Amino acid sequence: MTDPLTERVRANLARVQDRVADACARAGRADSPRLLVASKYWDVEGMASLAEAGIWLVGENRAEELVEKWARWHDVFEFHFIGHLQSRKARKVLPCVSLIHSVESVSLVEELNKRASGEVRVLLEVNVSGEESKYGILPAAAEAFLERAAAFERVRFVGLMTMAPLVTDPESVRPLFRELRKLRDRLAEVFSGRYELSELSMGMSNDYEVAVEEGATIIRLGSALLSGT
Ligand SMILES: *Cc1c(COP(=O)(O)O)cnc(C)c1O
């Protein structure tokens, strides 16, 4: 018999996938976003329930936990890093991940460039809401940031990421997702030839359907997979 946690994750995952498909249909999208599970809610051994439920992409917030989880599960999951990354931990994180979602300082870009053995794929974290408590580059500063970052050749920006504010009505963050998409489209033109900015990492448990309608290519979910029934 499968354990109850796996069953719960599996049922929630099926519901999420239905809702994602509906959101794609509403938006007339032919492609569908990748679903990343925020692994911070699971301990190392608990991640077995994710594997059994059919999840293959996870994102970790903390460097130490990433290293531990990666050591145990790198044959099973693809790992991304989604938390705030301090430059001094860049070296730890690099061997474990195929994408870092949360780059927002030139010093981190410099450190990644120095420590990487090959190319590092990253997203620029943008603070579209402008809330002071949030990490990320303000939209107006994103172009200048990428111009400076372009000097570091091993670091390849492949898109943008944002964390929307927690709200009760997900419709209220739609303009922020739309703004991130427009910014991505504009920067993709400005930096064509240097960067291919195709990814939009946006949407969490409370607002992923809106994010999918607005063009998310990666949604990051945690609590939606743990909820009751
Ligand atoms: C925890 C976390 C998520 C998932 O949050 P939920 O609201 O539980 O879906 C997504 N992105 C980041 C960066 C996170 O830290």
**Total structural domains within the chain:** 1
How much distance in Å is there from the Cα of 222 to the middle of ligand 1? 6
Residues 99-152 pLDDT 10s: 999 999 999 999 999 999 999 999 999 999 998 888 999 999 999 999 999 999
Q: Which atom of ligand 1 is nearest to the CA of 61?
A: 15
Its domain, for residue 77, covers 4-227
Q: What is the pLDDT of residue 1?
A: 57
State the CATH number of the domain containing residue 156.
Answer: 3.20.20.10
| Percent of the chain with pLDDT strictly greater than 70 | 99
Assign residue 32 a region: left if phi > 0, alpha if psi is -120 to 50, beta otherwise? beta
Residue 142: what residue type? A
Cα angle 15, 21, 134 (rounded to 5 degrees) comes to 80
Q: Which of 229, 174, 222 is CA-nearest to residue 15? A: 229
Least reliable range by pLDDT among 2-6, 27-31, 148-152: 2-6
How much distance in Å is there from the Cα of 192 to the middle of ligand 1? 30
How much distance in Å is there from the Cα of 210 to the middle of ligand 1? 16
8 A C-beta contact, residue 59 and residue 37? yes
Strands 78-81 vs 99-103: parallel, antiparallel or unpaired: parallel
- Can you give the pTM of this predicted structure? 0.97
Q: Which of 103, 187, 95, 217 is CA-nearest to residue 152? A: 103
- Of all protein residues, the one whose alpha carbon is nearest to atom 13 of ligand 1 is 82
Longest Cα–Cα distance in the chain: 55
- Of all protein residues, the one whose alpha carbon is nearest to atom 7 of ligand 1 is 205
Residue 8: what residue type? R
